[in-house]
Amino acid sequence: MLKQILRISSTNLRALSARWGASLVVVASMAGVTGVTIAILAMAQGFQHTLGRAGRADRVVIMKAGEDNGMASAITREQLPVVLSAPGIARTPEGKPLASAQKFMHSMLRERKTGAETSVILRGVSEQGFKVWPEVRIVEGRAFAPGKRELIAGRGARWQFEGLDLGQEVEMVNGPWTVVGWFEAGGSVYESELWGDTEKVIEGFSITGQFASVTAVLESEAAFQAVADFIGKNPALAHQVKRETDYYGEQGGQVSGAVRTLGYGVAGIMALGALFSAINTMYAAVGQRTREIATLRAIGFGGTPIVLSVLLESVLLCIAGALLGGAVAWVLFNGYAISTINWQSGGQVAFAFRVAPSLIGQGVLAACAVGLLGGLAPALRAARLPVAEALRRA
């Protein structure tokens, strides 16, 4: 049977040149489905990757219980020493907790591409900030000075917004802030932010003088439970602890989940078109080879090899289309930088499309399914065709 399948399939594939027009329709349809789907899913994957890179398993975010966003939280100055005394939080050689109390401020800046005013986040961090986030690295200029209205701009924010050149002033709620440096943070969401001194952010944004949340480094990943138990059971607090990986994973999951739903929905609609295209093409191919199929049946070829050979041709055409669509998506979109709103923080997040091999693999699997469904009915028709009748028609 295997020899029969290979012989029929090789004959079918050699005859594609005679049916190149119909075959190209299948390839083009599948390429369109795969390319569009991969592009949409690459956007979701890029967004989640950017947020995910901000998280480390040995860092935690401490915020008010019931909140899913550290920006909307509150920690009073009386509560802060209690939070920082939690067992399991790492200490510097001087004995200071390796943690940063934070406050956030929104500002409207003009986008370079569109000229529209869009929200950007100014994150206020404390003196331990650069030790808490060692991946944050000044690439030009210098770090902001504590007690001054100075800020540093992330790489993503710098290319996205106007007015962030070194020495320029950015108008905030409490007056102008001077840009003194640019930083990188390993391609994470932090690069979409502006950073400055947390006390100066509180001065301009908070009437009560409260902090929003605390990010702390753990003594080890296993120390998470000790910190969580201390914070959750302390009667002076009403706060919760989340691993930083979980915190940003949840933020990225909402947006990327919505984009994936859109992507699969669009893919499903387009796949129906590709399916009908494959069905029509394979019916036409079987119709053109009626005498050939009947002759094969007459000389002893079984129905099963004929069915499988037709299915194989259909699947190969769809796979070719999927690979073409994946290649086009890779060339056009992989690494393409855009920005979108983070629904939870309210600020813009700069990120790049990620056309991962897994997405192309999903496209190929979907193409196989379309090919099998598209070729099944024509293949069964070919196998059931009465030999004598087929020869008379031919």
φ, ψ of residue 138 to 5 degrees: the values are: -70, 125
Q: Which among 101, 118, 99 is positioned nearest to 110, based on CA atoms? A: 118
Contacts of 10 (CB under 8 A, 6+ apart): none
Single out the residue in 185, 208, 237 at which a domain terminates: 237
Domain for residue 243, yes or no? no
The answer to whether 133 and 161 have CB atoms below 8 angstroms apart is no
Please give the pLDDT value at position 86. Answer: 94
Say whether both 75 and 204 belong to one domain. Answer: yes
How many CB atoms within 10 Å of residue 236? 11
One digit per residue, the tens of pLDDT, for the chain of length 394 reads 666 556 656 655 665 555 666 677 778 888 888 888 888 888 877 777 777 677 788 999 999 988 877 777 889 999 999 999 999 999 998 889 999 999 988 888 888 888 888 888 899 999 889 999 999 999 999 999 999 999 999 998 888 888 899 999 988 877 889 999 999 998 888 888 999 999 998 886 766 778 999 999 999 999 999 999 999 999 989 999 999 988 888 776 666 677 777 777 777 777 777 777 777 766 666 666 666 666 666 666 666 777 777 777 778 888 888 899 899 989 988 887 776 666 555 556 767 788 888 888 988 888 888 888 877 777 677 667 666 665 565 5
Q: Does residue 74 sit in the same domain as residue 124?
A: yes
Indicate if the alpha-carbon torsion angle 371, 372, 374, 378 is positive or negative: positive
178, 209, 237: which is the final residue of a domain?
237
276 within some domain = yes
With respect to residue 246, please indicate whether it lies within any of the assigned structural domains: no
Query: 245 lies in a domain?
Result: no
Same domain, 208 and 306: no
What confidence score (pLDDT) does residue 181 get? 96
**Same domain flag for 195 and 144:** yes
Are 214 and 75 in a shared domain? yes
Residue 242 lies in a domain: no
The structure tokens listed for 53 are: 């890179």
User: Exposed, middle or buried, 191 (CB in 10 Å: 0-12/13-18/19+)?
Assistant: buried
What pLDDT score does 367 carry? 83
* 99 shares a domain with 40: no
Quick one: 30 and 94 in the same domain?
no
Domain for residue 244, yes or no? no
Enclosing domain of residue 327: 2-52+251-393
81 falls within a domain: yes
Count of structural domains within the chain: 2
Looking at the fold, whether 90 and 187 belong to one and the same domain comes out as: yes
- Among the candidates 214, 237, 260, a domain finishes at 237
* pTM of the predicted structure, to 2 decimals: 0.72
